[in-house]
């Protein structure tokens, strides 16, 4: 590899790293919002069930009874928010892995560049 080629690849990866960092900010916000939405939905659902209100789960009416756990019912009712939370967490983790991958490639290219310049 030529020095110019290596320097160009390093610069390309630095640009990619900056873009990926911006993506991580977006994913972090999405993850935080998903956590908040899920926690809020669980809390509201549990309060409704405790007050004897009927909630809906895929078109079925669900009410709290002493024989079933309130938290399990609430989590079941909030399954869509749970899925959204899992997807947001996965997207966040993928963005972190993407950043780490680019960093490793930059480090490798910098090592090659140092070796070639000697």
* pLDDT tens-digit readout, 53-64: 888 888 888 887
Domain range spanning residue 58?
A: 3-117
pLDDT at residue 67 is higher than 60: no
pLDDT at residue 116 is higher than 90: no
Please report, for residues 13, 40, 101, the alpha-carbon distance to residue 21 in angstroms, rounded to integers and kept in the order given: 12, 29, 12
Work out how many domains the chain is built from and give that number: 1
Q: What is the pTM of this model?
A: 0.76
Q: Which one, of 35, 23, 39, 31, lies nearest residue 95 by Cα?
A: 23
pLDDT score recorded for residue 26: 95
Structure tokens at 109: 């290219």
Compute the distance between CA of residue 105 and CA of residue 40 in angstroms, rounded to an integer.
Answer: 41
């Amino acid at each position: 590899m030529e020095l110019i080629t290596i320097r160009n690849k390093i610069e390309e990866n630095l640009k990619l790293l900056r873009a990926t960092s911006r993506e991580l900010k977006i994913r972090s916000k999405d993850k935080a919002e998903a956590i908040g939405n899920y926690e809020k939905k669980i809390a509201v659902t549990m309060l409704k069930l405790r007050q004897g209100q009927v909630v809906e789960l895929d078109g079925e009416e669900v009410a709290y009874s002493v024989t079933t756990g309130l938290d399990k019912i609430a989590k079941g009712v909030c399954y869509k928010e749970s899925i959204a939370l899992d997807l947001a967490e996965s997207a966040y983790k993928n963005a972190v892995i993407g950043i780490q991958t680019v960093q490793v490639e930059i480090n490798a290219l910098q090592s090659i560049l140092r070796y070639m310049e000697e």
